[in-house]
Amino acid sequence: MLLFYLFGAIAVGASLLVVLGRNPMHSVLLLIVSFAALAGLYIGLEAPFAAVVQIIIYAGAIMVLFLFVVMLLNAHREDDAPGARPGLAHGPLRAGAVLALLLVAELGWALTRAGRGEGDLLASGPGADPAALQSVRSLGNVLFTEYSLAFEVTSILIIVAMVGAVVLARRES
Amino acid sequence: MIPVYVAQLGMVLAVFVMLLLSAAVMVYSERKVAAFIQQRYGPYLVGPRGLLQPIADVIKLMFKEPLRPVAADKAIFILAPILSATAAFAAFAVVPFGGESTFFGLLDEPIKLQVADVNVAVLVVFAITSISVYGIVLAGWSSNSKYSLLGALRSASQMISYELSYGMALASVLVLAGSLSLTDIVNAQQGAWLGFIPRWFVFVQPLGFVIFMIAGVAETNRAPFDFPEAEQELVAGYHTEYSSTAFMMFFLAEYINMVTAAAVAANLFLGGWHGPFLPEYLGWIWFLVKIAAILFFYIWMRWTLPRLRYDQLMQFGWKVLLPLAALNLIVTAAGVIYLGN
């Protein structure tokens, strides 16, 4: 329980600093810290596999790409980045506010439902038993049988994104 | 009788000190083997046969002036070498180096010769490797120097590219052993076929072993894949602006990463501490012999093969190594299903 609060506090604190910080490079690093704290929370939930995969994929692979982009843009501070404005335009601000409200509402809904013990995806599926969840074998079984549609749709999404990136990159020549 | 938790703490300390010493041994043997290959003497003045040379090197480095470029990002510049060294040490925590032992009756119950027995140990090693990229990338960026930045960019793209083949070669061993725990994988290689061929995975997975070794060399930034510090083009790459103890930490991290990579390869493919002729409680000797053989191979390769060109590196990684690794994984998985273990 102590570890839960420790990792939770790190995750929330680091995430806040990511948003509030003025230095993009420091923001990227703090996001990595936040992801690592999430991995700590997964270990607390007795899901070491999820924790390690969180580190490999998010903290390892994806954030390296983020770092790459920030490094190449060479924006040392948000203020002197090219095209920086003193404040955000009203359009993006409104859209952001709507999305934030939506997220809070969804979170609240999910939390109240979880509190009453319904709507829990894992409570009904084949991976209901948390001891089974930590085993890679059962995770794989669930992924390729019960949730195979979601799995395939996700992979198509990723392929589309990859093809799009290649097309964008090749357009110049 | 010594309580178990004291023994565990002792193990942590012992592994830490051994890793530090292994870096010193590696520096010395690297210079001696290099000298042998190039028909020189190598270090021979400090101590008998130059054996104290690493200590002299450390003392020299420690008394150098710590330099920091004015335009460097101070916090990250200091953080980067610490991150590198920490990641290097952390990865070894889950590597087992022997079976269970009571240390000649000193303990009531036997403990495993391993700092932490995690049931996803293989993935932990992989995760820490992927984190160790940051030490190099941040060092390169925070130095605010073009050579450092180029070195860091190369290192990051190289490590991301080869990580995939590394992971796939690893996965084919996992499929064979049916476990993510390094201890289980090692124990799956116990015994021998026909009485004399050890049941090491290298004989079942020769292609996987080759892919794993090549990708391992790329992951540890060793020649012929030492682009991050290609001295002819980049002065010294990502650590150009570092001096004194900060430089020493990068140096240390590089050698400890090699030792860890060799230890993992020995566990995954060469049967870890299992081997003929020696009783079980002396298994760690086999383990050390295997690590030493792999490390010698690393050094041998560095002084034999010239550095690849950067486009060759990427071509080889994506168009040769990755398809081969994927094919190897599919064939292995099919074989395991078809033959039913």
8 A C-beta contact, residue B225 and residue B308: yes
pLDDT per residue as tens digits for the range A113-155? 766 554 444 444 444 455 544 577 777 788 888 888 888 999 9
User: Are A102 and A151 in the same domain?
Assistant: no
Please report, for chain B, the start and end positions of each structural domain, with discontinuous segments joined by +: 63-99+117-339
User: Are A3 and A27 in the same domain?
Assistant: yes
Distances from the Cα of B86 to the Cα of A121, B200, B287, angstroms: 38, 31, 24
User: Are A71 and A110 in the same domain?
Assistant: no
Residue A154 CA to residue B278 CA, distance in Å, equals: 51
Q: What is the pTM of this model?
A: 0.79
pLDDT per residue as tens digits for the range A41-69? 888 877 778 888 888 888 877 888 888 77
Predicted confidence (pLDDT) at residue B315 exceeds the cutoff of 90:
no
User: Are A22 and A74 in the same domain?
Assistant: yes
User: Are A107 and A161 in the same domain?
Assistant: no
Q: What's the average model confidence in pLDDT over B300-327? A: 85
pLDDT per residue as tens digits for the range B109-159? 666 767 777 777 788 888 888 888 888 888 888 877 778 888 888 887 888
Nearest to B130 among A60, A65, A72 (CB): A60
For A33, which residue in chain B has the nearest alpha carbon?
Answer: B131
Distance from CA of A56 to the nearest CA of B (A): 5
Residues from chain A that touch B137, judged by Cβ atoms under 8 A, are: 64, 67, 71
Partner-chain contact A64 B124, CB within 8 Å:
no
B201 against A161, higher pLDDT: A161
Confidence of residue A156 (pLDDT cuts 50, 70, 90): very high
User: Are A68 and A5 in the same domain?
Assistant: yes
pLDDT per residue as tens digits for the range B62-113? 888 887 777 777 788 888 888 888 888 888 888 887 766 666 666 666 667 6
Residue B169 CA to residue B286 CA, distance in Å, equals: 23
The whole-number pLDDT of residue A126 equals 45
User: Are A23 and A46 in the same domain?
Assistant: yes
B299 against A138, higher pLDDT: B299
Nearest to A64 among B126, B127, B137 (CB): B137
Give the ipTM of the model, two decimals please.
Answer: 0.73
Extended beta strands in chain B, E state: 98-101, 111-113, 192-193, 197-198
Q: What end-to-end distance do the CA atoms of chain B give, in Å? A: 43
Residues from chain B that touch A58, judged by Cβ atoms under 8 A, are: none
User: Are A13 and A74 in the same domain?
Assistant: yes
Nearest to A71 among B123, B149, B160 (CB): B149
Partner-chain contact B73 A25, CB within 8 Å:
yes
User: Are A30 and A104 in the same domain?
Assistant: no
Confidence of residue B35 (pLDDT cuts 50, 70, 90): confident
Please count the structural domains in chain A.
3
User: Are A42 and A60 in the same domain?
Assistant: yes
CATH number for the domain that contains residue A24: 1.20.120.1200
User: Are A58 and A11 in the same domain?
Assistant: yes
* Interface probe, candidates B134, B170, B219, chain A, greatest A C-beta count within 10 A: B134
Residue A163 CA to residue A140 CA, distance in Å, equals: 27
User: Are A58 and A12 in the same domain?
Assistant: yes
- The DSSP output letter for B98 is E
Partner-chain contact B76 A25, CB within 8 Å:
yes
The whole-number pLDDT of residue B114 equals 72
- Token duo for residue A22: 């003025």
Which structural domain, as residue segments, surrounds residue A47? 1-81
Residues from chain B that touch A65, judged by Cβ atoms under 8 A, are: 160
